[in-house]
Structure 1
Amino acid sequence: MDEQITGKRFLAVTVLNVLITVVEIIGGLVSGSLALLSDAFHNLGDSFSIVLGYFAQTIANKPETSKRTYGYRRAEILAAMVNATFLVIVSVFLIIEAVKRLQQPTHINGEIMLLVAVIGLVANLLSAILLYAGSHSNLNVKATYLHVLSDALSSFAVIIGGVILSFVNITWLDPVLTIAVAAYIAYEAWPVIKQTVTILMESAPKLDYKGIEQDLIQIDGVTAVHHVHAWMIDEKRIIFSAHLNCHDMKLSDVEKIYQQVDKLLNEKYGICHVTIQAEYHRGKDEEFFDTNVDEENLIK
């Protein structure tokens, strides 16, 4: 199945989330369930997030231009960060409200809570199925998928609470369920935030740099490697640049080395874009990474 999620699927998921929101707001007000109202506002945010994710995907597919030489792929990274950050903020808000409810418990109508939660679970599961295809290969879709999946989990938790409250009036159950679901949502969203920040800060991707250095030096004609930089445009595309010290040779022979470097870095390390500067003696004594900063002292 295509990694890109179609506009029709995004539209279907958005419509489902809007319908769930309306039903859960009504059900939450009638039943008095904080967990149900929390899930309703969560779904309302999801509708915005899904639309944002769709437009980000559309923008990301635009071709490179003279103003955006790497294209617009980071639009999806920005959308993923916004979506995941929103999830964490919502989770904190839900926990605060749940703690207040623990201090001032209210009666919950378990039957209404159960019925509405079942409707929400079915709709959220349908949405998750529609988004599942692209959730493993795209951070933007993954963030949107996590929104929907967390809603499904929330609905399932509310169902359990509704079943119990239909028979026993446990005043603390509804806010405790809310806290548990909110904590899970934040737990799932945090890694997405960390990864998007890593990409936007152009941090070095996790590569075997020592292995890269050894492999490049093994290429016939290469004597040293320095001034290395590596960063990511999105979660799949790694950019790499380096200076190679080579034997004194013709430019046509240097091009053959370039071809070997491109093939090596692409096939063995998954690097999609390589920029190499060939040099004879200049910079030969420089370090592999071009930095004069003591990173440990900088962190301290």
Structure 2
Amino acid sequence: MTDCNHSHWHPSHDYRPLERQSERQAWKVVALTGATMILEIGAGHLFNSMALLADGWHMASHMVAIGLAALAYYLARRFAGDRRFAFGTWKIEVLAGFASALLLVVVAVLMLGESIWRFWSPAQIAYDEALWVAVIGLLVNLWSAWLLRGQHEHGHAHHAHAGHGEGHPHGHGKDLNRQAAFVHVLTDGLTSVAAIVALLGVKYYGWGWLDPLMGVLGALVIGIWAKGLLLETAKALLDREMDDPLVAKVRRALEQLPDTEVVDLHLWRVGKAQYSCILSVVTHGDRSADDYKAVLHGFAEIVHVTAEVNRCALATHFAGPGLGTLAR
């Protein structure tokens, strides 16, 4: 049985100014990253700096990834009212974050391979010119990070049951699409710093091995960040939410009612901080599905509930003490 009153249900996004601002900022970062990418790749070839070249190609992949993030914001907003999306278009953004994480893995592998090759085949570097370009790249990365900086997410859960519950405390309100773009910018900053350190080391101490070493270390750090982002976005895409503490809290709240056993429970996210819930209970009592759904009004993040009540027939066959056959 489902609730006839859907006034509490809202799509996963309502695309208020926060989301529109994120979209505009992402496009600005795409433009900044693209211009710096061209500068660094050209300078890396011209001045023979592996660290600078790696940073440039790294920024090229990030321009594509952040472009995906901006496009995802646009598409999610564009199709927000499309009824073909059962629970809204939030996962378009998560899918873009997953694609960005895959691009990070590709970048890490390419950087690692090229850096290792440079250990055996070093090139003469024009230090002074390359340093200037690396500093410019770092400044652009810092500016981009400022544009994509984390803002207070206006949790959408307050639409659901205003005045009930305290909300979900586990940080699921974060924007995975913005997080993916921000991680790309952070890795850009990391490779820019690595390039500067490598160029200074080679220039002043003659440490020719430092240039490719910075490429290797940068690739490893990028790989670690990519793994974390892949796991988080994949979890949302695959609806792997049943190990979330919210599930146990919902089960305890339902089973606090006398003569109630939860035999089936499914929760999955349909927005940054919104969940849908399907539940099935067994009871000898006369409580209705609406009664059980009322128990969940205290969970502000649960915005859609479908409940099924199975009643045990007291006067029919017994499979064991106190257990009867199920009646729908």
- Fold agreement, TM-score > 0.5: yes
Contact 1:34 1:178 in 2 (8 A): yes
Residue in 2 that maps onto 1:292? none
Match of 1:217 in 2: 255
Q: Note the residue ranges of structure 1 that are not aligned, 5 or more in a row.
A: 286-300
Confirm or deny: 8 A CA contact 2:247 2:267 kept in the other structure: no
- What CA distance in whole angstroms lies between the structure 2 residues aligned with 1:171 and 1:164? 8
SS at match of 1:115: helix
What is the SS of the residue equivalent to 1:273? strand
After superposition, where does 1:123-142 map in structure 2 within 5 Å?
123-134=140-151, 137-142=174-179
> Residue 135 and residue 185 in structure 1: after superposition, are their counterparts in 2 closer, same or farther (change >3 A)?
farther
Q: C-alpha distance in 1, partners of 2:247/2:40?
A: 52
Q: Are the aligned partners of 2:281 and 2:310 in contact in 1 as well (CA < 8 Å)?
A: yes
**TM-superposed deviation, 1:24:** 0.4
Structure 1 distance, partners of 2:276, 2:203, is 57
Cα distance, 1:60–1:40 mapped onto 2, change above 3 Å = same
Instruction: Please show how residues 79-228 of structure 1 align to structure 2 within 5 Å.
Output: 79-134=96-151, 137-205=174-242, 206-207=244-245, 209-219=247-257, 223-228=260-265
Partner SS for 1:225? strand
- Offset of residue 273 of structure 1: 2.9
Amino acid at match of 1:96: G
Match of 1:259 among 281, 294, 297: 294
Larger proportion of helix: 1
Does the CA contact (< 8 Å) of 1:91 and 1:185 recur in 2?
A: yes
Rounded to whole Å, the distance in 1 between the matches of 2:54 and 2:72 is 27
Give 2:92's aligned residue: 75
Q: 1:32 aligns with which of 26, 32, 48?
A: 48
Secondary structure in 2 matching 1:233: strand
Contact 2:292/2:307, CA 8 A, preserved across alignment: no
CA shift for structure 1 position 165: 2.3
- The runs of 5 or more residues in structure 2 that have no matched partner are 1-15, 154-173, 314-318, 320-328
How many residue pairs are counted as aligned between the two chains? 276
Do 1:77 and 1:234's aligned partners in 2 also have CA atoms closer than 8 Å?
A: no
Q: Distance in 2 between matches of 1:64 and 1:229?
A: 25
Q: CA deviation at 1:257?
A: 3.3
Structure 1 contact 24–39 (Cα < 8 Å) conserved: yes
2:37 is aligned, of 2, 21, 28, to 21
The one-letter code matched in structure 1 to 2:130 is M
User: TM-score, normalization: structure 2?
Assistant: 0.77
Shift of 1:274: 2.3
- Displacement of 1:230: 2.1
Is contact 1:143–1:189 with CA below 8 Å preserved after alignment? no
C-alpha displacement of 1:107: 1.8
Q: Pick closer, same or farther for the CA change 1:197–1:8 going to 2, 3 Å.
A: closer
How far does residue 204 in structure 1 lie from its aligned partner after superposition? 2.8
1:275 paired to 2:310: no
Change (3 A) 1:250 1:8: closer
- With normalisation by structure 1, the TM-score equals 0.84
CA drift at 1:79: 0.4
Q: Hey, what's the Cα distance between the residues in 1 that align with 2:247 and 2:24?
A: 43
Retained in 2: the 8 A contact 1:135–1:142?
Answer: no
What displacement does 1:203 show? 1.7
Q: Percent identity?
A: 26
Q: Work out whether residues 72 and 93 of structure 2, in 8 Å CA contact, stay in contact via their aligned partners in 1.
A: yes
Query: Do the aligned partners of residues 256 and 135 (structure 1) sit closer, same or farther apart at CA in structure 2, a change above 3 Å counting?
Result: closer
Task: State the alpha-carbon separation in 1 of the partners of residues 26 and 247 from structure 2.
Answer: 39
